[in-house]
């Protein structure tokens, strides 16, 4: 974890929601950070509860506005590793830029021809998943941060995440991790890169 008076960057474990606004007694990343002595917390981005990895949480209203503007301008660099149900020989065909229009439909995102939000990501590399010949790990650079974007876009491309039954993936251990975050920090505008261990 890294912290300054403007933000805290924490590692969210898989299965823990970023926030639980309807139940103030529920466990969440924000609740844990608050219990750890961090006040004035404001989420500027989120990870799915099932995902793990880096989350930047603003500690002031001004920092939240700053980071929200940076995200809107697509100045953040966000890198993920996603485990998909495809052998590496197939997964390598996904390398390159991907664009889709996503629409939120209840608890799912779906790719639509019109009326959705433009969504962009690049699959940068594919490698065999450790110990699984029919699974691959994809390195994904996310340019926009739509609801379930990686999950929905990869499923639409024919590479469903292992364990992601919501999007038609096979049973197994779900793995989607936010591994690198690069941003201009609020305090002095220096470029900082945080990496998951």
Catalytic residues, by residue number, are 48
**Gap between the Cα atoms of 89 and 128, Å rounded:** 9
**Gap between the Cα atoms of 81 and 192, Å rounded:** 20
**Gap between the Cα atoms of 35 and 99, Å rounded:** 40
Whether 177 and 81 have beta carbons less than 8 Å apart is answered as: yes
Whether 74 and 90 have beta carbons less than 8 Å apart is answered as: no
Cα–Cα separations (whole angstroms), residue 147 to 45, 46, 130, 143, 165: 10, 9, 28, 13, 16
Region class of 23: left (phi > 0), else alpha (psi between -120 and 50), else beta: beta
**Gap between the Cα atoms of 120 and 118, Å rounded:** 7
Q: For residue 9, give both structure tokens.
A: 């960057």
Whether 186 and 56 have beta carbons less than 8 Å apart is answered as: no
């Amino acid at each position: 974890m890294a912290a300054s008076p403007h933000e805290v960057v924490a590692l969210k474990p898989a299965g823990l929601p970023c926030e639980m606004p309807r139940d103030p007694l529920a466990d969440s990343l924000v609740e844990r950070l608050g219990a750890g002595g961090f006040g004035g917390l404001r989420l500027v981005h989120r990870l799915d509860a099932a995902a793990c990895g880096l989350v930047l949480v603003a500690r002031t209203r001004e920092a939240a506005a700053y980071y929200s503007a940076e995200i809107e301008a697509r100045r953040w660099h966000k890198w993920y590793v996603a485990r998909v149900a495809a052998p590496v020989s197939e997964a390598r065909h996904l390398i390159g830029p991907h664009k889709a229009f996503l629409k939120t439909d209840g608890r799912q995102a779906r790719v639509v021809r019109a009326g959705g939000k433009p969504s962009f990501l690049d699959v940068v590399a594919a490698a065999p998943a450790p110990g699984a010949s029919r699974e691959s790990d994809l390195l994904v650079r996310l340019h926009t941060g739509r609801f379930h974007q990686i999950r929905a876009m990869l499923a639409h491309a024919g590479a469903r995440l292992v364990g992601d039954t919501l999007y038609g993936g096979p049973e197994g251990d779900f793995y989607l991790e936010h591994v690198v975050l690069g941003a201009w920090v609020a305090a002095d505008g220096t470029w900082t890169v945080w990496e998951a261990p």
